[in-house]
Amino acid sequence: MLLARPERPELRPARVEPRAQLWPERPGCVYGVPVTTLQSRSSTAVRAVLLGTVIAATAPVAAQRGFREYPSFEGEVAEAPLPPDYQVPGELVIGRLMYPDSRFGGDWRRGGTGWTDDYPRGDRRLVQMLRRFTRTSVRSVEQPVNLEDGDDAHYWPLLVAGLAGSWQLSDEQAARLREHLLRGGFLFCDSFFGEHNYMVFEESLKRVFPDRPIIDLTDDHPIFHVVFDLPEMTKVVIPHVSSAFYGGRMGGGPPRWRGVESEDGRLMVLIAYNNDVQDAWQWADDPRYPGELVSLALRLGVNVAMYAMTH
C-alpha cells in the first residue's frame, strides 16, 4: 500500500541541490531515535572493517561495480536526495540485494520491482544512524548488488533483502549467495507477512541452503545485544506502514525472528518474518509512525550491521 507523504516539498532531481538533512528530527531525538535510549558499545563498532577486508581479499580478482541508483516501485515516497559525499568510499556499505521476484512484471535488473521496497530512503536513514552512533566509516549511499555480476557480491559483506517474500532466486543465484554467506557475508531478510509469502521466501532460501535448518532465535542471541541491548526483540512486531498509520494487521500472525547459522554457529541470515523493519527506517520522520518502534528498528539495524561486520 502506497501512502502519500504529508506536506512533502516539491521533488528535485536527485543530483541537484541535495537537502542538507535527510529527514527532520523528532523533538528530543536524533535521526528519529530518542537520545536517552542510546547506549552503544563503541569498542565493538571499531572492528567493523575487518570482515569486509577478509571477504574481498579471498575473492578472485574481479572488477568492483560502482554506485548506481534505480527507481523504487513505491515511487516518490521511497526517494531520497543523493548526499553530496556519495562518491566517498567507506569501510561499511549497506548492500541492497537485487533479485527476480514473483509479484512484479518487468525487468528486475532495471529496478521498480520487489527488491526496491523501502529503497533508497530506508537504507540512507540506517546509514545516518550508523554514522551517528558507531565509529565505523559508513558510505553515505547503499550499493545495489546483483548476484549475476560475477564476484561483485563479495565486496559487499552486508546484504539487505526487502520484500523477501517475493524473491525467486535461480539455482545459479542461490549458489552464488550461498558462497557469499559461507565466506563470511550476512543477509537480512525483511518486509513480508503471511503464510503464502513465507512459503515463497522459504522455497528460495532452501535453494541457498538445502542442508541447513531455519531456526527460531531467542532473545539472548548476540545479534540483539552486540551494540544495543534489545532484551525482548523476538516478541516485537515492527509494522507495515499501513498498520502503523491506520491500525489493523497485514494478514500475518505473530512475529517470527528466525535465522540460518553456519556450522560454527555464526548467524548468516536474519529473518524478520511478519515484520517490516525497513518501513520504520523509511518513515522515521513521520509522526504517525510510533516513535518507540522507529527507535527500536534503527537500533536493530545498527546491531545487524555491527554483528555482520564483526562475526
pLDDT for 5 equals 40
Report whether pLDDT(120) > 90.
yes
How many domains does the structure of the chain reveal? 1
Cα(98)–Cα(80) distance, integer angstroms: 19
Q: Provide the pLDDT for residue 40.
A: 35
The residue with cell 531525538 is 29
Cα–Cα distance measured from residue 95 to residue 115, given in angstroms and rounded to the nearest whole number = 12
Q: Please indicate, yes or no, if residue 28 is contained in any of the structural domains.
A: no
**Amino acid residing at 43:** S
Asked, for residue 245, whether it belongs to a domain, the answer is yes
Domain annotation covers residue 200: yes
Q: Is 287 exposed, middle or buried (0-12, 13-18, 19+ CB in 10 A)?
A: exposed
Domain CATH for 282:
3.40.50.12140
Q: What are the two backbone dihedrals, phi and then psi, of residue 158, each rounded to the nearest 5 degrees?
A: -100, 120
Q: What tens digit of pLDDT does each residue of 191-210 get?
A: 999 999 999 999 999 999 99
- Helices and strands counted in the chain (H then E): 8, 9
Q: Above 70 in pLDDT, residue 184?
A: yes
Residue-number span of the structural domain to which 85 is assigned: 35-310
Q: Does residue 177 form part of some domain?
A: yes
Task: Report how far residue 116's alpha carbon sits from residue 136's, in angstroms, rounded to the nearest whole number.
Answer: 25
Q: Which residue has the higher pLDDT, 240 or 39?
A: 240
Q: Please, are residues 2 and 77 in contact by the beta-carbon 8 Å criterion?
A: yes
pLDDT class for 304, splitting at 50, 70, 90? Answer: very high
Checking if the pLDDT of 28 tops 60, the result is no
